[in-house]
C-alpha cells in the first residue's frame, strides 16, 4: 500500500474565529493541498466570533498569498439544537463558574463529539479526509471531549462508520498556550501573530472592547485570562 502524501490531501478545519482554531487553520494551510473551514452557530453568547471568522479568513488570504491559493470554501452549520439540549453558561445568560464536578459551567457535554461528527459528514461530501481541530489537553479546562483518547476513539468510529479513512489532527493537543503563539510565529512570523492578536476572538462574554497586547476581550473571563497568560509567557520566553 502506498503511503498517502499529506501534501496531496484535503483538510476541513473546525474554525471558530478564535486564536486556537486560527493556529490550526494556518497549520493546515502550510501542510495540505486544499483547506476548507467549518463553523457552528449554536446560539453561543460569544457570537461575535462568527463575524471574526470572515475577517480572519480574508486577512490570511490577503497577507499570505501562498495560503490564499489553498483556502477553499467556508461552511457554517446551524446547530441551534445544541442550545435546546444543553443549559450552560456558553449559551444562557448565566455567570461562568466552576461546578461541583470540577468542570466550568461553560462545558456543553459532548460538544466536540457532535462538532466532529457533523464535520466528518461534510468532509466526506467535500472529498476531504482530514479534520483539524484545536482541542487541547494541556492547559485547558479539562473538558473530557478534548482529550486525546476521546478523539482517537472518535477517529476510529468515524473511519469505520464512513467506510473511508478520516484522520483527526489536533496540532495543539499537547502544547501550552504560550507554545501556540510560538507555533504561529514559526508558521507565519510576526505578521501572523499580529493578525491573531488583532482579528481573532476568544472572550466568552463576546466583548471586543479594548485591544490589549494579547488581543480584544473583557480581560477577566476564564478565556481572556488564559489567552493573556499564554501571551505573556510567550513574550517572556522570547525575551530570554
Ligand atoms: Zn473575556
> Would residue 116 count as lying in a domain?
yes
In this predicted structure, the answer to whether residue 202 has a pLDDT above a threshold of 90 is no
> Would residue 2 count as lying in a domain?
no
Between helix 177-199 and helix 48-63 the angle, nearest 10°, is 90
Identify the pLDDT of residue 139: 61
| Ligand 1 geometric centre to CA of 74 (Å) | 26
| Ligand 1 geometric centre to CA of 165 (Å) | 38
**pLDDT tens across 108-142, in order?**
778 899 999 999 999 999 999 999 999 998 765 56
| Ligand 1 geometric centre to CA of 132 (Å) | 25
Q: How many domains does the chain have?
A: 1
| Ligand 1 geometric centre to CA of 228 (Å) | 10
Q: What percent of the chain has pLDDT over 90?
A: 67
> Would residue 55 count as lying in a domain?
yes
Residue 116's CATH number: 3.40.50.620
> Would residue 198 count as lying in a domain?
no
pTM across the whole model: 0.90
Q: Count the Cβ atoms, other than its own, within 10 Å of residue 7.
A: 9
* Strands 211-212 and 215-216, sheet pairing: antiparallel
Report residue 1's pLDDT band, with 50, 70 and 90 as the boundaries: very low
Q: What percent of the chain has pLDDT over 70?
A: 85
Output the average pLDDT for the chain. Answer: 88
Domain hosting 98: range is 10-176
Secondary element (H or E) of residue 48: helix 48-63
Alpha-carbon gap, residue 10 to 166, rounded angstroms = 11
Q: Count the Cβ atoms, other than its own, within 10 Å of residue 230.
A: 19
| Ligand 1 geometric centre to CA of 38 (Å) | 23
**pLDDT tens across 23-79, in order?**
999 999 999 999 999 999 887 666 787 889 999 999 999 999 999 999 999 999 998
| Ligand 1 geometric centre to CA of 235 (Å) | 20
| Ligand 1 geometric centre to CA of 96 (Å) | 11
**pLDDT tens across 134-181, in order?**
999 876 556 788 899 999 999 999 999 999 999 999 999 999 999 999
| Ligand 1 geometric centre to CA of 227 (Å) | 9
Alpha-carbon gap, residue 193 to 191, rounded angstroms = 6
Looking from the CA of 131 toward its CB, the CA atoms found within 13 Å total 31
Length in residues, the chain: 240
| Ligand 1 geometric centre to CA of 197 (Å) | 14
Amino acid at each position: 500500500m502506498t503511503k498517502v502524501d499529506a501534501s496531496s490531501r484535503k483538510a476541513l478545519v473546525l474554525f471558530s474565529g478564535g486564536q486556537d482554531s486560527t493556529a490550526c487553520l494556518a497549520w493546515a494551510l502550510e501542510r495540505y493541498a486544499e483547506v476548507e473551514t467549518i463553523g457552528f452557530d449554536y446560539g453561543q453568547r460569544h457570537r461575535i466570533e462568527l463575524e471574526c471568522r470572515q475577517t480572519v479568513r480574508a486577512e490570511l488570504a490577503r497577507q499570505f498569498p501562498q495560503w490564499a491559493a489553498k483556502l477553499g470554501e467556508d461552511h457554517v452549520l446551524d446547530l441551534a439544537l445544541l442550545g435546546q439540549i444543553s443549559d450552560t453558561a456558553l449559551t444562557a445568560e448565566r455567570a461562568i463558574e466552576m461546578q461541583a464536578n470540577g468542570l466550568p459551567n461553560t462545558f456543553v457535554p459532548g460538544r466536540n463529539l457532535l462538532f466532529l461528527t457533523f464535520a466528518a459528514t461534510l468532509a466526506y461530501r467535500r472529498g476531504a479526509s482530514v479534520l483539524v481541530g484545536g482541542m487541547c489537553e494541556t492547559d485547558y479546562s479539562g473538558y473530557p471531549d478534548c482529550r486525546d483518547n476521546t478523539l482517537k476513539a472518535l477517529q476510529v468510529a468515524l473511519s469505520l462508520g464512513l467506510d473511508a479513512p478520516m484522520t483527526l489532527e489536533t496540532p495543539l493537543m499537547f502544547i501550552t498556550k504560550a507554545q501556540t503563539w510560538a507555533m504561529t510565529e514559526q508558521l507565519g512570523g510576526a505578521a501572523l501573530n499580529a493578525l491573531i492578536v488583532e482579528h481573532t476572538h476568544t472572550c466568552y462574554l463576546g466583548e471586543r472592547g479594548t485591544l490589549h497586547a494579547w488581543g480584544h476581550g473583557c480581560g477577566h473571563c476564564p478565556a481572556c485570562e488564559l489567552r493573556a497568560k499564554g501571551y505573556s509567557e510567550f513574550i517572556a520566553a522570547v525575551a530570554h
